[in-house]
Chain A
Amino acid sequence: GAVVSQHPSWVICKSGTSVKIECRSLDFQATTMFWYRQFPKQSLMLMATSNEGSKATYEQGVEKDKFLINHASLTLSTLTVTSAHPEDSSFYICSARDNRGHLTDTQYFGPGTRLTVL
């Protein structure tokens, strides 16, 4: 099956710093990628939809100036958490939409990035 990677897998940073998380589709091109966040014992919540070559679409309540998304190529989307604070500590997971040929609209998840802000 298709593979999606995320980097880094975990990161610990000081409050006020910015953290960039990369999501790559390794063997397919993804015009659409999704970014989710999961707090402990909670469900995955969609943060934004990232479309290659255009601005991301953010869900209600997600600050676009705080969570910067760049989808500059068909295989890479990045999420930057700017001026991170302890309440941003969470598990961030991306998924990439595979719409090749007959595999229409299958989404593959990256392994996730665990962010801890001190």
Chain B
Amino acid sequence: RKEVEQDPGPFNVPEGATVAFNCTYSNSASQSFFWYRQDCRKEPKLLMSVYSSGNEDGRFTAQLNRASQYISLLIRDSKLSDSATYLCVVKGQAGTALIFGKGTTLSVSS
């Protein structure tokens, strides 16, 4: 079983749509959780950290359910510029590397 699994995608949505991505992780000892965004042929960039209480950053909302080992990302009012691959990422204790999911590709069209 992969350490981090994500929706297979791709997601093709019109501008203005709301889209949700899901992710599960296998290591219950994971301590930190993130969503990264990766554009084609570029390095991943941190989109937001994910907390158990849930957190929101503008049109983006992230949720973490430790009991179910489940992470989600909701994007409201999709923009063309949101088109990218979204990577679910988990990490163990301080100093350890990030573990990446395979990513889910989002394509927003006009």
Per-position contact with B for A97-113: 1 when CB-CB < 8 Å, else 0?
A: 10100001101011110
* Residues from chain A with Cβ under 8 Å of B87 in the complex: 43-44
Asked if A111 meets B42 with Cβ closer than 8 Å, knowing A97-B95, A104-B94, the reply is yes
Q: Is the CB of B43 within 8 A of A32?
A: no
Q: Is the CB of B98 within 8 A of A95?
A: yes
A36 to B99, CA, bound (A): 10
CB within 8 Å: A-B pair count? 43
* Chain B contact residue count (CB 8 A cutoff): 17
Asked if A111 meets B94 with Cβ closer than 8 Å, knowing A42-B102, A43-B102, the reply is no
* Distance (whole angstroms) from the CB of B98 to the closest CB of chain A: 6
In the complex formed, the residue of A with least CB distance to B99 is: A46
Per-position contact with A for B26-62: 1 when CB-CB < 8 Å, else 0?
A: 0000001000000001111100000000000000000
A95 to B97, CA, bound (A): 9
* Residues from chain A with Cβ under 8 Å of B45 in the complex: 109
Q: Is the CB of B43 within 8 A of A110?
A: yes
Q: Is the CB of B99 within 8 A of A109?
A: no
Q: Is the CB of B43 within 8 A of A109?
A: yes
A54 to B43, CA, bound (A): 27
A42 to B103, CA, bound (A): 8
Which A residues fall within an 8 A CB radius of B?
Answer: 32, 34, 36, 42-46, 49, 91, 93, 95, 97, 99, 104-105, 107, 109-112, 114
